[in-house]
Structure 1
């Protein structure tokens, strides 16, 4: 749940949440529906995809991956997406990728790495 508590003598008990958990709670699926592009370092387009409003069951929605994707993305076979308390989760047969919102039009893959992956609205 990304919630932490800390006690300070004379001040009581404090409850804290990570920024990712707070941001995820404020983003709705309607704000994420649409056309997106996966990029490396904001410069190298890897794949175009649609985060659709078609239900994939529960709180998940379908992803449409456009032809011509880089093998590093195509091999994951992304098929569904969902928002949760930790951010945006893209899932496929080859694994899952988690993203944290950077701003209204871009999300960064977490955990951060030396080879960053960015999801940017088209």
Structure 2
């Protein structure tokens, strides 16, 4: 049951988050917000890992929170790259191409985790 929930979060939640972050037209202010959010995710994940939390790897909630922050940062970096490409080429074909590639890119961590799980088992 847990694997199904994680699968749905990754394959539905990730693309939805990407869609929300790329819905507006590319702008310098939007790019700054994406950079700020990606940095906040990175700092939060680093703090959970190396900060005052000694339970990384032992406490499931702390570990999952760190992994989620890294994943959100990944999605935000994809959205930032998408918006940069769309600013360079505002055409309809670029919008479609970046939407498809970015949406698919949000699920890449799932395949990495599945492959690692397969190699360990």
TM-score (norm 1): 0.26
- Considering fraction of residues, name the structure with more helix: 2
- Considering fraction of residues, name the structure with more strand: 1
Say which structure, 1 or 2, has more relative contact order (CA 8 Å, 6+ apart).
2
TM-score (norm 2): 0.26
